[in-house]
Amino acid sequence: MTLPIILLIVGLLLLVKGADWLVDGASVLAKKHKVSDLAIGLTIVAFGTSAPELVVNSVASMGGYPDIVFGNVIGSNNFNLFIILGIAGLITPLTVQSSSVWKEIPFSFLAAIILLFLANNFFSSDTPGLSAVDGIILLTLFAGFLYYVFTQLKSEPDNNDIIQKDYSNLKIWMFILAGLTGLVLGGKLVVDNAVAMAQSFGVSEKIIGLTIVAAGTSLPELATSVVASMKKNNDIAIGNIIGSNIFNIFLILGVSSLITPLDYTLTFNTDLAILGAGTLFLFVAMFTGKRKKLDRWEAAILLVSYLGYTVYLVSGEI
């Protein structure tokens, strides 16, 4: 058991350093090309931090572990929303741009609703799950989201007044690629060794997917958003989470269901409902307290809610 613990720590270190490099490179890239930090957070950073989920789910799908596939995505999205935004919001209240309030957050909620309908086969009498056709639908919606983001690339002003480092183009991309590499390798080390440790205690595949795997593959988002929050780069912190949640459902589940049709366990509906409720809370939070800002007390509610959710999961396993 000593080796998995050491590899787990190495993975965590890679995640933290990779996140630091990625935030630095992505922020300078945004400034250099007059692209908003929010757009960079919704695309480059979101894709980079979702890479561990993509790797894990592709392997799980090929291996025939649908509960790991769904548990990883739904669990990661809940972890992103409740834990990561909660921690980032406690570090510093997060100001949210108008486009995020009225477009990206609702789009994230819509993604969860679409997954609920497709996975339950509400429009047919087939066994609950995602087919290759569903995968094509999800990937088409993902392409639509990317089109929306790229049409907004220069429409949002960048209000981040922090002085940025003056990197050459080569150095910028070296930071971004090194950061993504660190995140992917770190995420894989964390997940592989955490799952090995959990399985030794006889934990079910569903719970492993919703907790250990989900938390492990969300560590890049956690590291990136916390670092961005500490650097007062709210747009990277917010865009990373919202973008990752949309990527996870549309891209990762789309790819996973194209690899192999996925059977869906109906008990995941509760976890999807919690994701939807949390996303609605985030939307409502933009109009309570200080407008268009996730205040510390609202961030604390997210964290406490996730603790209650974790107790619910564990109690159901006992």
Measure Cα distances from 179 to 16, 107, 170, 183, 290 in Å: 9, 27, 14, 6, 34
Which of 240, 243, 217, 38 is CA-nearest to residue 142? 243
Orientation of helix 105-120 relative to helix 268-285, angle to 10°: 160
Domain membership of residue 42 (yes or no) is yes
Domain membership of residue 257 (yes or no) is yes
Domain membership of residue 13 (yes or no) is no
Domain membership of residue 45 (yes or no) is yes
Query: For residue 34, is it left (φ>0), alpha (ψ between -120 and 50) or beta?
Result: left
**Rounded CA gap, 280 and 303, in Å?**
15
The separation between the first and the last C-alpha atoms of the chain, rounded to the nearest angstrom, is 24
Q: How many domains does the chain have?
A: 1
The helix (H) or strand (E) run that includes residue 90 is helix 85-91
Domain membership of residue 70 (yes or no) is yes
What's the pLDDT tens digit per position in 135-149?
999 999 999 988 887
Domain membership of residue 5 (yes or no) is no
**Rounded CA gap, 290 and 202, in Å?**
46
Q: What percent of the chain has pLDDT over 90?
A: 32
Q: What is the largest CA-CA distance in the chain?
A: 58
What's the pLDDT tens digit per position in 46-93?
777 777 777 778 888 888 889 889 998 999 999 999 999 999 889 888
What's the pLDDT tens digit per position in 201-246?
777 777 877 887 788 778 777 887 888 888 777 777 777 788 889 9
What's the pLDDT tens digit per position in 108-162?
999 999 999 999 988 666 789 999 999 999 999 999 988 887 776 555 554 444 4
Instruction: Report whether 275 contacts 78 (CB < 8 A).
Output: yes
Domain membership of residue 29 (yes or no) is no
Q: What is the DSSP-derived secondary structure letter of residue 156?
A: S
CATH of the domain at 216: 1.20.1420.30
Does pTM top 0.75 for this prediction? yes
pLDDT above 50: residue 260 = yes
Query: For residue 40, is it left (φ>0), alpha (ψ between -120 and 50) or beta?
Result: alpha
| Structural domain range at position 47 | 36-158+201-317
Token digits for 225? 């958003």
Domain membership of residue 15 (yes or no) is no
